[in-house]
Structure 1
Amino acid sequence: MAGPDPLRARERVGRAAQALADGEPVVVTAETGAHLVLAARRATTPWMAFLVRHTAGLVCVALDGSTCDRLRLVPMAVGFTAHRSTAYCVSVDLHGTGTGISASARARTVAALGDPATKGADLCRPGHVIPIRTRERGVLDRAEPAEAASDLVRLADGSSAAALSELLSSARPGEVATPHEATAFADQHDLSVVAIVDLMAYRAAAPGRVRRVTHTALPTSHGPFTAVGYLDTLDGAEHIVLLIGSPDEHDPGLLRLHRECVLGDVLGSQACECRAALAADLDAVAAAGRGAVVYLRTGSRELSCASSAAPHGAAGAIVADLCGAATSPSSVQADAG
């Protein structure tokens, strides 16, 4: 199944992040459900009442590991693995919020969890707001609502604390909303809606994922190229671009993608066509006089090209760096290598 269009995904992520920065909730959809999400430190009583009214009412707050440690938020259960390994912590209330169950009380607790000045002693346990410890790399580590909510708030204002609760269906009382119902709900209430897969696509190809680390002139049997070395900041892989000319977003030239195959590319294995495909790509770009071959290193210890499943996200980020952010990664033609 094809992934989301990178440009459309970036637009949806951008709108959602701006709405969160403005203090508004957004709808985040997954494969089978959806959540209402709000930037924790911008939580207000009216928006908390809105969130509780239209959701299951179980209000959680996604927090990064360092915040959980600072606030002494301990796991709800040791070795907890239910619900796709969501790392729930013991529920909390902010001291001085009465019973802690009202919309105003939960808004104050949520806002306190998003406030860097809050201390562990400011919270009483158990309470009515459930912190969730998120994974370090967000949706790139775990494509679930808590990580998505935290990633979106980080894009919105640099923090990572996000309130979230699962949206319920208005047509089927007691059932969670489907992504289609969630989109209709967002339209009805003039809210931004973004899918987790959109955020994954955005994060994978976002500016800053890759960094140019070196370049040199490289004469080859296919013609003269400029070799540009890239470091993937997500996994440490080092990729190479063989470049002719200066691609830009209006005319990127001929772009080809090749995945590393040690047996074929280096040792000339006859069991695959990788070496021939790479040579054909280099010949084609040289003949065009403008473009690039993006050579993705897999970082795998496996030698077989069949196991070289390098992600397209790095290629998209490299192309965006070469050509400008408006260039879609789909303009890169992948060969069989």
Structure 2
Amino acid sequence: MDLTEEEILEGLSSETQIIDVRRLKRRNTITGQREPCEAIRVCFKGSSLPSYIHMFDTRVNVNPYVYPVTQCSRCWRFGHSLKMCPSSRVVCPKCGRDHPNCETLTYKCNNCSGNHMALARICPVYKKEKRIRELMAEFNCSYKRALSIYIPPEPHTPKESPKTLNHPSADMYDNNMDKSTTQTTYADIVKTNNEPSTPKTTKKKTKNRKSNQQKNKTQDSDWFELTSESEELSKQPRQVQTGENFKNKKSWKELLKIMKDKLLDREMTWQEKVKDCINIIMDWIISSVCAYASNFPCFDVISSWLKTS
């Protein structure tokens, strides 16, 4: 604060040439007068700003300067101050009439005719002027150029609630909400806890159990038929079946069943099981060969010759 503008200009250094330096002012909240502050406005040569400058061997960031919105305290119009006001008519900031100030509570803006004071920051004219100055700082252009770039905001239209659309789903939704918000008593909770619960999962489990039981029954019946056949075969004497027995049983499936029964027999040893299986296979081969050879006429001659001899 002790340095003058000339001393500050000598202490500044930057890649971009610095033309001028000015100390900014702010309004004192106690006295209401404007006094110098720590902020400094630096003017550079050219249309681009550097990101930083060096001031007394310290690095300082540079931000674009946004011109404040000036408002006259006599006519309450934007764009000029009291000293530059072209009008001599005094306007009230509350009602907009030709008197300095009044104590009315029904406000009327002198700029937009809205229901607010001329000093209010919600005024659309003030928002427009502020946005134009932001565009001036962003594009480094004049007021006239920024005014041509400015796009006014769209008017805000409040959306209608779904209840005003007379849609049947809205009433249904409200009814469901009313039902859901009803309070439950302790007696209701006790009743629901004492009642036998039949959840969906138990029903699914019972269905699965029934289907599994039916499958098991069919499997047991098939197994019972196989075991009954094996028991009947095991009751027969332990003799190797000859080719005469296999003449009527030429299918290999029956042969496998018989061999399976032999292998599952617990009373026999493994050596006996292997011998019986080999004998069964050999008898089946012999019987099949004999059955195949019986179709030839020479087999009948040989068989008759053996009988006569």
Shorter-chain TM-score bucket reads under 0.3
TM-score (norm: length of structure 2): 0.20
More strand per residue: 1
TM-score (norm: length of structure 1): 0.18
